[in-house]
Structure 1
C-alpha cells in the first residue's frame, strides 16, 4: 500500500481511500505535507482536509462563473470526498459536524451540476428515513439495480465517488444509500447499526418495487468492508435479493474487534472510539459485547443466491482465513472467492492499494448475474 504516512497505517489508508474515490495526489500532498513528519494531531488532520476541500470549492465557483458546469461538478464532488476523509478520523463534536455538513453541501452542488440525472431518494424503514442516491442505468426500459452498502465508517457520498457510472455502463442502476450505523442516520439522528440487516434491506427492496424504472425481479446487493457482513447477512434472509457481493469479507466481526482491542492494534483504518459510536453504546466494553452479534456463523448456509467475495491477501483488517471460512460456509451453488495478491495489487483491505481491478470485476460479475451482459 502507498504509505504516505510511513508510521501511521490509519492515516495512510485514509489517503488511499481518498484516491480510490477520485482524490488527486498533488492536491492531497499540497495540504498534508505540513503534517506528514509531525506528531499525529487529529485537529491538524481535520483542518488540512477541510482546507483541501475548500480550495476545490473555491475553484468550482470560479469554474461556474466561466460557465464550466461539469468542471465545477467534479470539483464539488472531490471537495465532498476531502471533507469526508478528514471527518472519518475526527471524533464526534463540532469539528466533525462541520466537515460532514460541508461534505453534504458540496455533494448536493455536484449532483445538481452533473448530467447523470442522479436522484436523491428517501426510504421509509423501521429506523426512520434511509437517504440515498439513485444512479440511473440510462435505459428506457426497466433495469436491474444494485444496492451499494457502506462499511463501518464511510457514507453514500464516498460510495458514489467510488462507483460513479460503472454500473450504468452495464445497463444497471445503482442505489448508494446510508443505512443504520452509517452516514446521515448515524451522524444526524444517532441511529446505531444493527446485526439483523435484513430489516433495513427489506424496506429498501419494498421501496424499489414501487419504482417504475426498476426491474425489481433483478436486485443485487453489494457491501464494502463491514458491508461484507451487511450484504450476505441480508441476502441470507431476503430472497428478493438475486445476487450478492462482499467487497471485503467478514466472518465474525465481534471476534475481529476483540482481537484489535486486546492487542492495541495499530493496523486499523479507524480510531477505536468509532466502535461505541457506531454500536450506540457508552463504553468500549459494551460495544465489544454488542459487536458479537455481528457474526455470519450459522447464517451463511442460508445464503443461496450467487455470491462473490473479493479479498486481499495482505488485508490487515480482516484475515484471509476469515474470507475462506465465509466462502466455505456459504450455501450458494454459484460462489466465488477472488483473492488479490500483493504481486498483482489490490491485496489490502477492500483493494484500496489498487482498487480498479476489483471494481471492474464486481460490476462485470453483476452484469452477468443480472442479465445485462453476456459471456463471449
Structure 2
C-alpha cells in the first residue's frame, strides 16, 4: 500500500480513503506533508491540517459560485466534504470531531445544491429511528432494481457517495447509500450504536423501497463495504427479500478479529475509545463481548442468494483467510470469491491501493444478477 506516512498505517489508510473518494494527492501533499517530519503523531495537527485543506476548497467553491460556475463549485464542496469526513476519523470524541462531521454534512449539502448532483435525500422509518440516505437513480422511465450500500465502522453516507458516485446508475441500478446503526449520523448525532441483527434495519429499508413507484422493490441487493460486509451477510441470511449479496471484504468473526488486533497492538489507543463508542458499551472489554455476537460462522450457510466476496490478499484489517472461510461456508450455489493480488494491484483493504477495478467488478456482477438486461445502461443520471 502507498504509505504517505511510512510506518503509520492508520494515517496512511485515511489518505488512501480520501484518494478513493476523489481527494487530491496535491492537496494532501501540501497540507499533510509537514506532519511526516513530526517526531510523533499529533492529533491536533492532524485535525487542523484536514480542516484547513477542506476550508481552502470551500473558499475556492464560494468564489466559483460568485463567478457563476456552479458545477465547479459543487465539485469543490464535495471534495471539502471528503476532507472534513476523513479528518475526523482518528479524532477522539469531543468538539473537534463533532465540528468536523458537521462541516462535512454542510459541505455535502452545498455540493448537492450548487453542483446539481443527482441524488435524492430520503429518510427511512425504522426501529432505530429515521435512517437518512441518498438515492442515486439512473435516468429511466421504469423502476430499476436497487443496491443498498452499507459502510463500515467509521464510514458515512457522504463518503460512500463520494466512493461509488454514479457507478451503479450507469449500469441501470438504483443505489442507496444510507446511515444505519453504528454509522454516520446515527452514531455521531444520535448515539445509536451498531447491532448484530442487521436484518432489522434492512427490513425497514426494503419496506420503504416497496412503497416507492420509481424503484423495483422486488429486486434489492445489499453491498457491505469493509465492516459493512458483516451487515450485508447478516441481512442476506435473515431477510428473504434480499436478492443478492456483495461483501467488499469477507468477514468471519468480529470478536475474534478485534481481540487479535488489540493483542497485536495494531489499533492502539484509538480502539480503546472507538470500539466502546460504536458498540454502545462502557469499556473495551464490554465492546469485545458485544463484538463476539457479531460472528458469521453460523450465518454464512444461511446466505443462499447469489454472492460475491471481494478481498485483497494483503488486507491488514481483515485477513484474507477470513474471506476464504466465508466463501467456503456460504450456502449460495451461485457464489464467487475474487482475491486481488499485489502483482495486479488492489491487494489492500477495500482495494484502496487500486479501487476502481474492484468497484467496476462489483457493479458489473450486480448488473448480471439483477434484472437490468432488458434496460440498456445509460450514461446520464436523473436530476433531482
Query: Does TM, normalized by the shorter one, top 0.5?
Result: yes
Q: Separation in 1 of the partners of 2:130 and 2:54?
A: 28
Runs of 5+ consecutive residues of structure 1 not aligned to the other structure: none
CA contact (8 A) 2:123 2:130 kept: yes
CA contact (8 A) 1:2 1:12 kept: yes
Query: Residues 109 and 58 from structure 1, CA distance in 2 versus in 1: closer, same or farther, beyond 3 angstroms?
Result: same
Cα displacement (A) at 1:270: 6.1
Cα displacement (A) at 1:373: 4.0
The residue that corresponds to 1:150 in the other structure is: 151
Cα displacement (A) at 1:326: 0.3
Cα displacement (A) at 1:315: 0.4
The residue that corresponds to 2:230 in the other structure is: 229
TM-score, structure 1 as length reference: 0.97
Deviations 1:32-66 (A, max 9, x none): 01111111011110110011000000000011111
Q: Separation in 1 of the partners of 2:75 and 2:96?
A: 25
The residue that corresponds to 2:15 in the other structure is: 15
Q: Separation in 2 of the partners of 1:356 and 1:272?
A: 33
Cα displacement (A) at 1:269: 12
Q: Does 1:120 align with 2:121?
A: yes
Deviations 1:204-257 (A, max 9, x none): 000000111001111111010011100011011111110110001111010000
The residue that corresponds to 2:48 in the other structure is: 47
Q: Separation in 1 of the partners of 2:270 and 2:253?
A: 18
Cα displacement (A) at 1:136: 1.1
Paired residue secondary structure (1:139): coil
TM-score, structure 2 as length reference: 0.95
CA contact (8 A) 1:11 1:269 kept: no
The residue that corresponds to 1:347 in the other structure is: 347
CA contact (8 A) 1:132 1:176 kept: yes
CA contact (8 A) 2:57 2:79 kept: yes
Query: Residues 310 and 270 from structure 1, CA distance in 2 versus in 1: closer, same or farther, beyond 3 angstroms?
Result: farther
Q: Separation in 2 of the partners of 1:220 and 1:114?
A: 29
Cα displacement (A) at 1:116: 4.1
Question: What's the RMSD between the two structures over aligned residues?
Answer: 1.4
The residue that corresponds to 1:240 in the other structure is: 241
Cα displacement (A) at 1:202: 0.3
Q: Does 1:273 align with 2:273?
A: yes
Alignment of structure 1 residues 1-376 onto 2, 5 Å: 1-38=1-38, 39-265=40-266, 271-373=271-373
Deviations 1:6-53 (A, max 9, x none): 020100011000000000000111100111111101111011001100
Cα displacement (A) at 1:371: 2.3
Paired residue secondary structure (2:176): strand
Cα displacement (A) at 1:117: 3.1
Give aligned pairs, total.
Answer: 374
Cα displacement (A) at 1:113: 2.1
CA contact (8 A) 2:124 2:204 kept: yes
Q: Separation in 1 of the partners of 2:2 and 2:271?
A: 20
CA contact (8 A) 1:170 1:373 kept: no
